[in-house]
Structure formats: C-alpha cells, structure tokens
Structure 1
Amino acid sequence: MRPRLLVPGAAAAAFLLLGVPASAADGTPGAPGLGDSYYPDAGNGGYDVSHYDLRLKYQPATDRLEGTATLTATTTQALSRFNLDFLLDVNEVLVNGKKAAFARTGVHELEITPPAALPQGKHLTVVVRYSGTPSAVKVGKFTAWQRTADGGVVAQEPESAAWWFPSNDHPRDKATFDVSVAVPDGTQAISNGVLASQTSKLGWTRYNWRSTQPQAPYLTTLAVGKFEITTDTTSNGLPVVNAYSKDLGDLLAPAKASVERTSEVLDWESSVFGPYPFTAAGGYVPKVPTRFALETQTRPFYSPAPFANGANVSLVVHELAHQWFGDSVSVKNWRDIWVNEGFASYAQWLWSEKEGEGTAQELADYTYALYPANDPFWTVRPGDPGADKQFDGAVYQRGAIALQAFRNTVGDKVFFETLKGWTAKNRYGNASVQDFVAYAEQVSGKKLKPLFDTWLFTTVKPSAAEAAKAGIGKPAAKARALAAGKPAQPRSWKQIRDALAAHQH
C-alpha cells in the first residue's frame, strides 16, 4: 500500500449551527482524539461504536453524495458532548431520536451536543444526515476520494472515512457495517463484505453490502462505476467477489491473472496463518491514476498500475495477508505499523519460497547485503518509524528481515506456531509491536527482546556479527556479489532479484 498521512488537527474558528442546551453542561466533553502518538486528533473519546448503517445515494455525473449515517454506540464516560470525524456538509443530527446541536471545529471534527448529558454506559444512537461532493473536499491538497470517468472510489490509509461517512476514525474503535448505496441503473457499487441484496426502482439500483466482523473505519471502502464482476468460492465455501473497471484496456488481462487467484492465495495463507477471519473475500481494480494497493477489509483495492508489467500475484499475497495482519489484528497505535506491514511483506517472501522463486532466507540475505551501512534505509526504525516514515520501504523490507531473524532463532515449528497463535489470540482486536515480542517470548521460551530491538529499533545497520547471530547474511559472499550485480548463479539469483522487485509496491 502507499500512504496518505493523516492530516493533523488544526485550530479553526468553530461555528455553531444550533443552540447548545444548558442541560448539556452536565458530564464532560469527549476528547477530540484518542491520543495516538502520530495522529493525536485521530478518533474520538467518550464512546465506543458497535455498528454503522450507511444509506447513501450517489450520482456519478456530478459526484454528488447524499447520505444518512446511523451509528449505534455505548458511552464510556458521562458525556456533555462528543465528536465525530467528518468533512462533508451536515444537515441534521439526532441523538437518541432528538435533535442535537452540532458545530464544525478543527479540520475534520464534527462536535455534537445532545439535548441532555449522557450518563456513562448508556446506549447511544446517532443519526447524521449529510451531503456533498467528496472529490471537491480537500485538506491541504489531499482528498481521499478519487473521481473516475464513471464514478468514484474511496480507499486510503491512515484515513479515508471522513470523506464519505462520519465515524470514530481510529483502528481501536472497530464496528460492523451495513453499506447501502443507490446508483443509476447500469452502474455498480462495490463495498466490503457480502452483497446482501440488490434492488432496482425508478432508474436507480441499490446495493446492500454487509460486514459482520469488526472493521476499522479506514478499511471500509466504496467504489462506484461500471465493472466486470466475477464470483468464486474458497475451498471452504466462502464467497469471493472481484470487480474490474470496464476501461482498464491492456491492464485488464494481467489484473485478472492476479486478482482471480484470490481464492487460491487465501487457501494457502489459511494454512500458514490460521483460519481466514472473515465471511467474504475478493478485490477490485478501478480505473484510477494512483499506483498503490490497500487492504480494505474483505475486498482489497488495487490500482491498475502495479499490473503494467504483467501479473503481480505477489501484490495480491501482500494485501490478502493483511486480512490477518492489519485487518483482523490491527494496530493499537499507528506507530505499531510493523505488525501490519512487516508480516504482509514476509508473506510475499513465503509465497516466493513456495513458488521456487527465492526462499525467504535468500531474500533476507539479499536485502541485508543490498543496503550499505551508510544508506538511509537503516536509519528508519520499523518498530517506531515516525509519522513521516510510517510507510517507508524499510518498514516493509527491514521489517520482513526481522521476521526471518526470528524464524532462524526459534526454528520453523515455533515460528509458524507463533504466527497462527498470534492471529487467533488477537482476532478482531488490536496489538502493538511490544505485544508481539512478548507473545513470541512466551511461545518460544526464549528472551527475544534484544533480537527485535536490533532489527526493529536501531538506526544503524546491524553488524555482520549481529546478522550472523540471527542467521542473516549467509552466504555472505553470494549476497555481496548479488548486491554488486555480479551473481554467481545468474538464473536463480535473477529470480530472487525479480521476486524482491515484485514486493516494492
């Protein structure tokens, strides 16, 4: 995937749209952010969302979106007011069936004041009626909504929800989703989960998508346009829905040659990581100019550009591995991005190993040799890279080396037991880098913190002695020759170079 860094909160003059009732003085305001060290304004405090029901109508010709979002939640403190993250125009807000005051504050904060204070532990139903032109809403020069020739697409990280529905936008507050979208007849609407129903009336077709497992707001996607849709099932019968823009041209064939292998890849990954955590799967390839992919839950987004040189199954392996690492087991805070990207990148190395295109060990040795000690690659700490380096290549590649070092240290049996146990223990939850290290120590019975500190938290290249201790960099002569472009075995090492190149996306 490629990053779009969350826009930090900025002070702005609040404008009050409705009067604030005096009785709302009871309780205290929910925090306008969850205190993430990278993005303090991400998410909101004071409540926990359990479900989003989005009823939308979208006109591709004008990029006009109208919607009613219903959020069911529970208060986690006595609330005088609370915030949602949102950017479109709001027409009305109801809290537990009664009109509530609302104001726009900061960059993306919708501040809501109910007619009476809400006690802790109270069930909360929030209805927000809104409209707008998503592609025209920009923060700085950025918009998460990509307009296409026949519709629009929203898929971005670490934020995208604010462009099309109000939410508590942090991975720590997951919820289930119903996404119902009406579009002109002849146009399709693609979202997460299972297509529960599809109806047509008065020139409009409504698609009703349902996600019944916990899902982070940024992992919720929407694509409207004219698509070729294919269906399949995994070996255990899960529905697979893939969609391809009808104007992909020459890129359609390699895109299908990649994404149509989704069920095969999921069957293999389930054998490595444990049971697939969701009830649907698939992927979609819209006609957009971007070059990244994103692990939107159950239905990854793929830009067409990564298929320009032919099929790219490795990319599909990466995004589907995220269904375990990133979607089911999500970050506690965005600094924990390694628990997403390191594992998804290592899944590609395991696929390469399975396909005979270079083992994970060879890829780790090559990567270690490729970057000299003075390369900036080694200054990025995958375990806490900083917001500006959160999606740096080192998080992916150096992060994968760390897992090979762990594998070498504990052996294959314990290594793969740890992966399966980790995804089971933390299913539908959140976890940190430190949580993984502690769990790995528990399963292996070894003290592993020094190993992970070396590969995830230092800002220098691990020495040859440190690398050798972790089984990285051997055979050193072959790895150095490869990095210098003088491989001793051209055919096999070319496969390794090609396999590694396929992982840069």
Structure 2
Amino acid sequence: MTVTTHRRRTVTSAVCLAVLVSGCGYRVTVNDGSRGSDAAAQQGKPADLSAAQSNPVEDSYYPQRGEPYLDTLHYDLKLDWSPTQRALKGTATITFRVTEDREEVQFDLGDPLEVSKASVDGRAVTATRGTDTVVVKTGRLAKDSRHEVVLEYAGTPKTTPAPSQRGDQGGGLGFTIEPDGQTWTMQEPFGAFTWYPVNDQPADKAFYNATLISRDGQKGVFNGIPGPEKVDGDTTTRSFRLDQPAASYLTTVAFGKYSLLQESGPRNLPMYYWYDPSSSDAAMFKRGLQKSPDILKYLETLLGPYPFASAGAVLVPSDSAMETQTMVTMGVDSTRSPDDFDAVMAHEYAHQWVGDVVTPKDWKDLFLNESLAMFLQAKYEDHAKITPYAVTMSSYRALDARLRREDGPPGKFKKDHFAASNVYLCGALMYDAMASAYGQKFYDALKSWPTVNKFGNVDRDDLIKHFSDKIGVDLKPWMTNWLESETTPTDQPPALPSSA
C-alpha cells in the first residue's frame, strides 16, 4: 500500500520534470478481448501444492481474522457479478490442511454473503454462520490431512471497517461497489472475506485460480495470468491463474469497463494493464503504465530478478494503491501528475519483492513491507529525477519525531493506526542509515533479502539476522531500538569489525 497521498506530497518536489517514456523499445500490443493472453491461465490447481504449505499463527494485532489451525493451499474461485442487481454469486473450492485434529473448520466470510451449499470431499455438510465467519461441520479430520471444501454463496458484498486513521480507508476495506456498478477491492490488513470465504491472515499463503463472469459491458480482472475471454451475448467470462502462493490481502478483483493492454517487459516478462480508455485521463494513465518495464528494470538492479511470471496493474476509482500480487491495484485518484503516478507505481512494484515474495507472519511487522518499499521508492525517485534522494530523506527526518509520537514507533505502531506514515518513513530512515554506514555490503544484503524463505513468510528476527549475517555485524540492538523507540534514535549503526 502506498503512503497516504497528502503526506506523500509533503516529501516530494512540487515542481518536477515529467519524463514521459512510452515503452522504451518494449513490444506493445492491444488485446481486443477476442484472443487468449495465455492458455496456461486455464490450467487447474497445481499438481504439487507443497509450496503453499504454511504455518499460520494467531495474529497478535488482529486475532479476530484467520484461524491458526487452518492452512489453505489452493483457492479456485468462480465469481459472477451483476452490476444492475449489485449481486455477487460465488463458488469457492478450497483445498486445505489442518494442523491439528478437527471436527469443524472456520473461514472468514462477510455477513451479507449467504451460503447456500457446502460440501467436504464431495460429501454434503452443514455450514453455520457467525459474525463475518462460516463454520463448516467437517466431521473428524486428522492432523496434517488435506481436504477440499466447496462453498456456494451469494449476496451484495459490503466493506468492513479499517483499523486505521487514514483518510483513504474511510470507506472501509474489501469489495467496494461504485454507484455505476463498477467494483474494486483493497484489503490490507484484512477484507478478502468480504467477497470470498478465506483464512484472512498474512501467515497463510495459497495458490489461486479464478473464473470471473461479467455482463453489461464490464470485464472482470484478477491477479496473475489471464486466459482467453469467452463472450456469450452480454456475458463475458475469463479465467486467471497466480503462479505462486499469495496471502489473501494480496488478492484483487475488479469489474468495470476495462480494456487490456499487453506489453513485454524485462526478459519478455508478460505485462498486463487494465484501464478504461474512455476516462478523461486515459492517455496519461496509459503512458504511466507503459513506464512499468523501466521501473522494474531499475528495481532489479537493487532487488534481483523480478520473481513472478507476470506483472501489471489494474486502474480503479480509489485514492490509494495496493501491491496486489503480480497485478498492482492502482487508484486513479491517488496521483495528480505523471511524476506522482510513476513514484506510486515504483512503490507498489517494489512490494512484489518486499511484501509479496516474502510476507510478514504477523501484522506487527508491517514495517517489513512498507519501510523498505518507501526506501526503494526514494531511490527510484532520485534515479528518475523526480525528487533528489537527499531531499526526500531530509523531509522524512523532519517528520520522524511527530510520527512516532502520534502513531507509535514503526515496529510497535498503534493497533488502530494501521499503515500510518510511521511504518513508511521512520523505517525508511533506518535503511538510509544502514546504507550510509555500510555501502555495498548493505546493498548486497538488500538484494538477497527476497530469497529468505522465498514465497513464504518472515518476521523481524529473520530480517535482523539476514542483514547482520550479510553485513558482518550484530545489528539486533540497534535495529530493535530504531523500530521500537518512541523518540527519534540518535545512535549511528554499529561499526564494522576492523577485519571486515
């Protein structure tokens, strides 16, 4: 997620040269929807689900969401949206593992969605509702056994309140319905449960396939690689596939009057951009989207090769942006200039390495995502001649004390201040201090960080150990103080041993 827009503007230059690059030699094609983008999207769930095996925990900040005994491995979602009726019909086929003996399992699912049918391993079962949950009476399940549950449901989704003071989350989290019937979703730290049954916590990653059915001129968009579009009268159907496991907050879905622009990125990486060509700002947004390959090429110099099978973005009528896996959800109201657009896209693309490949086990470690992404955004803005890096860091320093006072330290933020600017700016200053102190050793450690438990979950101990080992100095006392101090730390990073 990007830092709140109004505050981001206080740390970027007000007057910047707009560098408009269209494609920079990358092949660009427009898909009219009549042909498939990638037949691989039609494949079912992976034969080997071991990469999605997780070790869920009860989240220390938001324990009301997710179940620690439930390890979902694969979601196959069929979502049918009617913009005129404001109705979503869904079928979720979920492969899961239990980490203890169970006779029932609980999924998060929004109250407005009524479950009409439930089965486990092909056998009809009873499903009962709690507050934003559904309890499936499975019968005896042995520890570590795998099963398949199918839930059919329907209703008009509603957003859920955000544990945040951010202005761009005032409308809540999850499935958002616009007056014209267009929909979109952003759901960090939770909210996927507003549109499908899910173990809605960051420590449980799973593979995803989705089939979206839309009508009335709309098209459906999901993460990952799109398959061919099928048209039957006023109804369109398209399937999508995510190539690596994802946490639920990193999924996205949108229904609207979209066109698909396809591009080849670094090393012929498939890139998919979904936007409304009739928008008054369509030309600016299209140019901004087409700078994605160059943003990724720059980020690869700092983070290593892009880690997924596709990349891209879907534009939605929001004033925020979200690092949804392989398919950034980009709010068209979150930017007011080409430079703003580029900077926000760089932030969300950086998250593909820091947040999506390696994801926090617990929301107390949100800084693992946002602090590094903000540091990387500052580096990109300097590279792209948007804002000098030194100017950005000076602005962050001027805000550090106030942010710690108002929102808490970046590693101990107030629970009802989720994604406040402290976890972005204060933590970015920590990495700036390390970069200044250790130079290339820091950048080498940064580049290898996304390989630590790749496609899995990490915590602050993993981060501290990794940077300590790679740089060659014990960083735990210094980094812990930076993350948990209620006032701006003044100590410099520890010096390297004389033999280093």
TM-score (norm 1): 0.80
1:361, distance to aligned residue in structure 2 (A): 4.3
Q: 1:372 to 1:325 in 2, by over 3 A?
A: closer
Contact 2:434 2:493 in 1 (8 A): no
Q: Does 1:344 align with 2:373?
A: yes
Contact 1:171 1:331 in 2 (8 A): yes
- 1:484-499 pair list within 5 angstroms: none
1:270-291 CA-partner distances (Å, limit 9, x unpaired): 22101111111100112x2x31
1:390 to 390, 393, 418: 418
Q: Does 1:188 align with 2:219?
A: yes
Gaps of 5+ in 1: 5-32, 471-505
- 1:268 alignment partner in structure 2: 298
1:172 to 188, 203, 206: 203
Aligned partners of 2:400 and 2:187: how far apart in 1? 33
Aligned partners of 2:481 and 2:279: how far apart in 1? 44
2:107 to 71, 84, 101: 84
Q: 1:384 to 1:103 in 2, by over 3 A?
A: same
1:203, distance to aligned residue in structure 2 (A): 3.3
Contact 1:361 1:404 in 2 (8 A): no
1:74, distance to aligned residue in structure 2 (A): 1.9
- 2:331 alignment partner in structure 1: 303
Q: Does 1:277 align with 2:301?
A: no
Q: Percent identity?
A: 28
TM-score (norm 2): 0.81
Q: Does 1:160 align with 2:185?
A: no
| Residue identity matched to 1:53 | D
Gaps of 5+ in 2: 5-55, 163-170, 496-500
1:166, distance to aligned residue in structure 2 (A): 0.5
Aligned partners of 1:340 and 1:266: how far apart in 2? 17
Contact 2:173 2:185 in 1 (8 A): no
1:331, distance to aligned residue in structure 2 (A): 0.6
- 2:287 alignment partner in structure 1: 257
Aligned partners of 1:336 and 1:420: how far apart in 2? 20
Q: Does 1:120 align with 2:147?
A: no
Corresponding residue SS for 1:111 = strand
- 1:444 alignment partner in structure 2: 471
| Residue identity matched to 2:220 | A
Question: RMSD between aligned alpha carbons?
Answer: 2.3
- 2:351 alignment partner in structure 1: 322
Aligned partners of 2:160 and 2:478: how far apart in 1? 43
Contact 1:144 1:154 in 2 (8 A): yes
1:322-346 CA-partner distances (Å, limit 9, x unpaired): 1111111101100101110001101
- 1:111 alignment partner in structure 2: 135
Contact 2:266 2:296 in 1 (8 A): no
Instruction: Name whichever of 396-405 and 385-394 sits farther off.
Output: 385-394
Aligned partners of 1:469 and 1:447: how far apart in 2? 8
Aligned partners of 2:279 and 2:488: how far apart in 1? 42
Contact 1:150 1:226 in 2 (8 A): no
Contact 1:51 1:71 in 2 (8 A): yes
Aligned partners of 2:393 and 2:119: how far apart in 1? 54
Contact 2:173 2:190 in 1 (8 A): no
Aligned partners of 1:373 and 1:205: how far apart in 2? 52
Corresponding residue SS for 2:249 = helix
Contact 1:255 1:307 in 2 (8 A): no
Contact 2:478 2:494 in 1 (8 A): no
Aligned partners of 1:181 and 1:113: how far apart in 2? 28
- 2:120 alignment partner in structure 1: 95
Corresponding residue SS for 2:134 = strand
Aligned partners of 1:89 and 1:350: how far apart in 2? 47
| Residue identity matched to 2:329 | F
Corresponding residue SS for 1:387 = coil
1:47, distance to aligned residue in structure 2 (A): 2.9
1:153-212 CA-partner distances (Å, limit 9, x unpaired): 122211121111101111111111111011126321111000123212353111101112
1:104, distance to aligned residue in structure 2 (A): 1.1
Aligned partners of 2:156 and 2:335: how far apart in 1? 30
Contact 1:406 1:451 in 2 (8 A): no
1:143, distance to aligned residue in structure 2 (A): 5.2
- 1:483 alignment partner in structure 2: none
| Residue identity matched to 2:129 | R
Moved over 6 A (4+): none
1:102, distance to aligned residue in structure 2 (A): 1.5
Contact 2:175 2:194 in 1 (8 A): yes
Corresponding residue SS for 2:77 = strand
Aligned partners of 2:233 and 2:396: how far apart in 1? 58
Q: 1:304 to 1:432 in 2, by over 3 A?
A: same
Q: 1:378 to 1:202 in 2, by over 3 A?
A: closer
Larger radius of gyration: 1
Instruction: Name whichever of 262-271 and 356-365 sits farther off.
Output: 356-365
1:403, distance to aligned residue in structure 2 (A): 0.3
- 1:144 alignment partner in structure 2: 174
Corresponding residue SS for 1:414 = helix
1:375, distance to aligned residue in structure 2 (A): 6.6
Aligned partners of 1:49 and 1:376: how far apart in 2? 36
Corresponding residue SS for 2:177 = strand
